[in-house]
């Protein structure tokens, strides 16, 4: 694998992570001069999937050999209704989780009948029968979960943003991080927000902070140990090490699979490292270690050992 290809492959995976992180409705447009709005990756993914359904290459059969033994998690209809009830009663954590549920289901809700074919098309383009089997399973799990959300009705994009904003106003730290932008009535100052995330050891909120609007603060805090090209990768892996569930069969990996085609019965770290040549892998691992050490020195006590 040459350096150019490996860099391109990793960039695609990181783009997939950001898609999972900010989703369809949580991409904030910067209005201040000189800051272009980021691309709506979820909408782009929808367009790409629609285009692929017209490709004649999509008709080749999918082998189901080597399907994983575990099953992707699915929130049942009863659990979904209970989550909605807690959110409507004012539970900020439930409001944030409901926003994420809407976020995951938004694209599928645009064309529920056509979604199985979109998944099949994506499966046909994956590099192995095992990956194809995993995305087929991930797609079925997502469809089952989304069928219990608002009785499978089309999801307005506003539902995603409004519930996440409500959770932020209710004090949920991950939601505050997720919706951060200048001049929010519920926003903390950037430095204060990072300090609070570190002090509380909130890996999900750390993960949410790793977006285009935090580049300056990331450089200020970690610029001495991170290279510009690897900053997002290292911080994302650090968040996974610190408690965000990025393991095999997780909701995170399920979404990585259906949204970005990164389908494996492995953790995100194992999957990402497997795309890199040894030299780049070692550099990235050293940077992850350095980030964990800095966070620990700043008061984050729950660092975990490196994977072999």
Closest among 50, 31, 14, 39 to 228, alpha carbons compared: 14
DSSP category for residue 149: S
**pLDDT above 70: residue 42:** no
Q: Mind listing the pLDDT tens digit for each residue in 270-297? A: 999 998 999 999 999 999 999 999 999 9
Structure tokens at 143: 């469809």
Residue 290 class from Cβ within 10 Å (0-12 exposed, 13-18 middle, 19+ buried)?
Answer: middle
Q: Which pLDDT belongs to residue 213?
A: 63
User: In this structure, are residues 152 and 146 in contact, taking their beta carbons and an 8 Å threshold?
Assistant: yes
Query: What are the domain boundaries of the chain?
Result: 3-28+42-53+63-297
DSSP letters of 178-191? HT--TT-TTPPPHH
Q: What is the pLDDT of residue 82?
A: 96
126-171 confidence digits (pLDDT tens)? 999 999 999 999 999 999 999 999 988 999 989 999 999 999 999 9
Count how many residues are written for the chain. 308
């Amino acid at each position: 694998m040459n350096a150019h290809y490996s860099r391109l492959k990793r960039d695609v995976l990181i783009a997939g992570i950001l898609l999972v992180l900010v989703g369809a409705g949580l991409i904030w447009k910067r209005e201040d001069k000189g800051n272009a709005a980021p691309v709506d990756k979820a909408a782009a993914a929808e367009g790409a999937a629609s285009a692929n359904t017209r490709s004649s290459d999509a008709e080749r059969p999918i082998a189901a050999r080597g399907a994983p033994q575990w099953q992707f998690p699915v929130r049942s209809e009863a659990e979904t209704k209970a989550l909605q009830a807690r959110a409507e009663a004012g539970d900020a954590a439930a409001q944030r989780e409901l926003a994420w549920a809407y976020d995951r289901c938004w694209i599928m809700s645009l064309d529920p009948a056509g979604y199985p074919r979109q998944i099949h098309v994506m499966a046909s383009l994956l590099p192995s029968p095992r990956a194809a089997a995993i995305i087929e399973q991930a797609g079925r799990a997502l469809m089952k979960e989304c069928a219990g959300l608002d009785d499978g009705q089309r999801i307005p994009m506003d539902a995603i943003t409004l519930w996440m904003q409500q959770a932020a106003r209710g004090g949920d730290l991950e939601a505050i991080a997720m919706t951060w932008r200048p001049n929010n009535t519920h926003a903390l100052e950037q430095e204060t927000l990072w300090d609070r995330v570190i002090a509380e050891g909130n890996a999900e909120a750390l993960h949410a902070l790793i977006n285009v609007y935090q580049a300056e603060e990331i450089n200020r805090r970690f610029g001495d140990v991170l290279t510009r090209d690897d900053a997002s990768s290292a911080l994302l892996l650090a968040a996974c090490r610190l408690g965000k569930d990025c393991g095999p069969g997780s909701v995170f990996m399920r979404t990585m699979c259906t949204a970005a085609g990164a389908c494996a019965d492995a953790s995100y770290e194992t999957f990402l490292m497997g795309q890199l040549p040894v030299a780049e892998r070692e550099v990235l691992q050293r940077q992850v270690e350095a980030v964990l050490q800095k966070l620990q020195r700043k008061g984050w006590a729950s660092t975990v050992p490196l994977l072999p």
